Amino acid sequence: MLQMDNELEQGPEFQDFEDEDTLQQKQEEKLQAFGYSMSKTRDEWIRARYSAGLDKRWREDVDQYESKDPANRAAAQMMQSVEQGYPVTVSNAQPHRSTVYIGITRQKTNTAEARLADIMIPMGDRNFGIEPTPDPELSAMLDSTAPAVDPSTGQPVIDPETGQPMDESTIASHVHQMAADRAKAMEDLIDDQLLECDYNAELRKMIHDSSLYGTGVLKGPIVTNRVRKAWMPMTDATGQSVQTLEFVQETTPASFRVDPRNVWPDPACGDSIHNGKGIFERERVTAKQVRDLVKQPGFMKDQLRKVLEEGPKSSATMEEVSDQENNQDIMKRRYEMWTYWGEVNHDDLQAAGVDAGEDDPLRTITGCVIFINSRINNRD
Instruction: Give the mean pLDDT of 257-282.
Output: 92
pLDDT band at 195 (very low <50, low <70, confident <90, very high): confident
pLDDT, tens only, 247-262:
777 788 889 999 999 9
pLDDT, tens only, 105-150:
999 999 999 999 999 998 888 888 888 888 776 544 444 444 556 6
Q: Give residue limits of the domains in the chain.
A: 28-81+197-376, 105-196
pLDDT, tens only, 170-183:
667 777 778 888 88
CB 356 within 8 A of CB 350: yes
pLDDT, tens only, 148-173:
566 666 676 666 666 666 666 666 77
| Average model confidence (pLDDT) across the chain | 78
Query: Angle at the Cα of 375 (from 373 to 377), degrees rounded to 5?
Result: 115
**Is the model's pLDDT at 374 over the cut of 70?**
yes
Looking at per-residue pLDDT, the higher value among 232 and 219 belongs to 219
Predicted TM-score (pTM) of this structure: 0.73
**Main-chain phi, psi angles of 306, to 5 degrees:** -65, -35
Instruction: Give the mean pLDDT of 258-283.
Output: 92
Q: How far apart are CA 339 and CA 39, in angstroms?
A: 11
30 by Cβ neighbours in 10 Å (0-12 / 13-18 / 19+) ranks as middle
